[in-house]
Amino acid sequence: MDGGPTLNAFALMFRWMTNDATEPVENLPWGTEWHNLPLGPVSATGGPREDWDIAGVELLKQLTGFEAVRTIPLASRPLWISQSRVGKTCRLERVLDSTLTHRLVNKTRIVGCTMSHLFEAAYCMVLLARNQLPPSVWNAYHFSGNSSAVSLIPHLRLPYDTKTHFISSRTHIPIQISMADISSIVSPRRQLLQIAQAIQRCARFATHPCMPHVQAARAYQPDALSERPDVESSVNNVGPIERRLSLSWKGGHGAEPVFELESVLFSVRLTSLAPIIHLWTMKGSLHVQIQANDAWPEADLQDLLNDICSRACLVLEDFPQKSS
């Protein structure tokens, strides 16, 4: 389960906890839970596409070709080359106040990119700064993201909706941006927008009719369980928490809330040394969380988080005016 369905599951659990009329759990019939197993993304989005054998297979080939590594990937490596305690992770969070968040949201709309693409571009800029590429080798590198998430919510078919669908609410598009398409001599803000626009072009696959079923189909490919490169990270935008999960839960009779939600965090199983970034808004403020295993010293991870946020805020700067 990814972030969206997990929040839906919490909402159902909180509703059960605050509803006096809910049947006690000890009265529920044992051994019947398998009747209520949720459907996967293929069935919930209308079942297999009739043209999958042609259009779907062709889309898989295009994505595989797009992922082919032809240049050197940009990387930000931790201090140590392996983790000391398997399973131990470090999560750090940066909260941007509601005023700054509002400005960022408005500016991304004006320039025509999403918050996800903005922070993916900011992360790419941090990698460029840390690798300090001279002009002679600039074109030999690329930015490779693990994936850019595409929501499946618009593709759900009745009777399934955001409240009833739990098993995966997104599919993934690979990201690979050649530095040959990005200028090394423009201002930081222009470079940020160049990268964000290049990432957005990668999302051209998102409108393909077969895209909702790509993730499930790729799970059956021979290399589905192969290890991803350690250099690939990802940016995941959960969106507004309040859209899926109320922050205040009242009981059936009392006017006062039984409990209130003050904060959230996200955690995923880490399979590489690359950090994972989550974005969400709550009470009007943007939260940016970075998670990595203990190969990363906390101070280094904090510097990485601060640098990403600083690069993302470059979008708020105005372009210099041309002299007449």
pLDDT score recorded for residue 229: 52
Kindly state the percentage of the chain with pLDDT values over 90.
31
- Quote the tokens at residue 236: 């995941």
Inform me whether the pLDDT recorded for 15 exceeds 90: no
List pLDDT tens digits, range 18-56.
887 767 777 777 887 777 777 788 888 888 888 889 998
List pLDDT tens digits, range 62-73.
887 777 777 888
pLDDT score recorded for residue 218: 78
Inform me whether the pLDDT recorded for 264 exceeds 80: yes
Count CA atoms closer than 13 A to 99's CA, side-chain side.
Answer: 0
Q: What Rg, from alpha-carbon coordinates, does the chain have?
A: 22
Nearest C-alpha neighbor of 44 from the set 144, 205, 156, 169: 156
pLDDT score recorded for residue 230: 57
Q: For all residues of the chain together, what is the average pLDDT?
A: 83
Once rounded to an integer, what is the mean pLDDT over residues 206-233? 71
Confidence grade of residue 324 (pLDDT, cut at 50, 70, 90): very low
Q: Please tell me the distance from the alpha carbon of residue 179 to that of residue 193, in angstroms, as a whole number.
A: 14
Q: pTM of whole model > 0.95? A: no
Angle at 187 between CA 190 and CA 112, to 5 degrees: 10
